[in-house]
Structure 1
């Protein structure tokens, strides 16, 4: 095993992001705050993209790749301890978006990309399922869309503007981060941490 544990993502990394969010005045309507939350999300998506890339390149076998994703999932989806309720809600939104990223990555590694249908068709099916309050089906459709994103299909992020605010919109937002990460898996630097 050439890859040391925590090479892809660490508890400390996640906590550093949460620390910045605790320290800063966060207002989701304000650009800097929105960027900080997006960077938090993108940073995690990039780690997932690197695992998928290493799996596709044969550097990780299926079991190890799934285990690495599960490790990140446990760090990122752990229960939050925020005194500030608004910040807790905003980070919870990031966690919700990333949930779909993790499940899509796991589905891709374990079963490959969806064999039929387009990203748009799956997202529409997810939105329809959400409207009928069938959240398991909605998540399943978003995960299938995610496997296509990982496989290189282009997702038009403009379609998220047509979605009702809710879980599907959050999951599609996560897939947008994943798409960006798959095409440009550069680490999001915490360079403005001390500004």
Structure 2
């Protein structure tokens, strides 16, 4: 297999974000801190959106797209080495949000867009599954929702207001980043 001509994401890029997080005084209640974490998350979601777009435009075949997603996922979801417990937890939250983004992109590439339901239906089903402690089903529903987001259906973030805080709300947060990335896949500048 040949290496794709495009580089979608690098270890160095992820490390630059982690270095910024390490250097900053982070307070999740502070807008600048929250923006830094959101930019970090959006940046990874943009890489995923670019891989999906390259697949849709036949610049990558299915195998290449899946391999590229796996490479980016390995970078982004690897364990962080922060001394600071709180920063480690904040990055862990970002990584948790992105899990669903990677699975949704893979599902979209391998199986296409989910047919039976809307984004809202899948989010509500995921919330119900989470309430019954069936996290695998919850993730599965949100992966289906994610394929529809990739296909252009809108994720209405007012749905999140009804959700209990937990994995489903984190995963939906990731899908929101994916939605933004699909509509405007411009790179987030690391020095903003």
1:139 aligned partner: 139
Per-residue deviation, 1:81 = 1.1
Per-residue deviation, 1:3 = 3.2
User: Quick one: distance in 1 between partners of 2:88 and 2:142?
Assistant: 24
Map 1:140-159 to 2 at 5 A: 140-159=140-159
Per-residue deviation, 1:2 = 7.2
* TM-score, normalised relative to structure 1: 0.96
SS in 2 for 1:191: coil
Q: Spell out structure 1 runs of 4+ moving beyond 4 A.
A: none
1:46 aligned partner: 46
Map 1:52-91 to 2 at 5 A: 52-91=52-91
Map 1:21-36 to 2 at 5 A: 21-36=21-36
User: Quick one: distance in 2 between partners of 1:2 and 1:132?
Assistant: 44
Given that 2:16 and 2:190 are in contact with CA atoms closer than 8 Å, whether structure 1 keeps it comes out as no
2:4 aligned partner: 3
User: Quick one: distance in 1 between partners of 2:69 and 2:176?
Assistant: 18
* TM-score, normalised relative to structure 2: 0.97
Aligned pairs, number? 191
Deviations along 1:97-119, one digit per CA (max 9) or x if unpaired, are 00000000000000001011010
SS in 2 for 1:187: coil
User: Quick one: distance in 1 between partners of 2:134 and 2:78?
Assistant: 24
Given that 2:4 and 2:60 are in contact with CA atoms closer than 8 Å, whether structure 1 keeps it comes out as no
Per-residue deviation, 1:4 = 3.8
- Structure 1, unpaired ranges of 5+: none
User: Quick one: distance in 1 between partners of 2:138 and 2:129?
Assistant: 5
Give the RMSD, CA atoms, in angstroms: 1.0
- Structure 2, unpaired ranges of 5+: none
User: Quick one: distance in 2 between partners of 1:37 and 1:18?
Assistant: 10
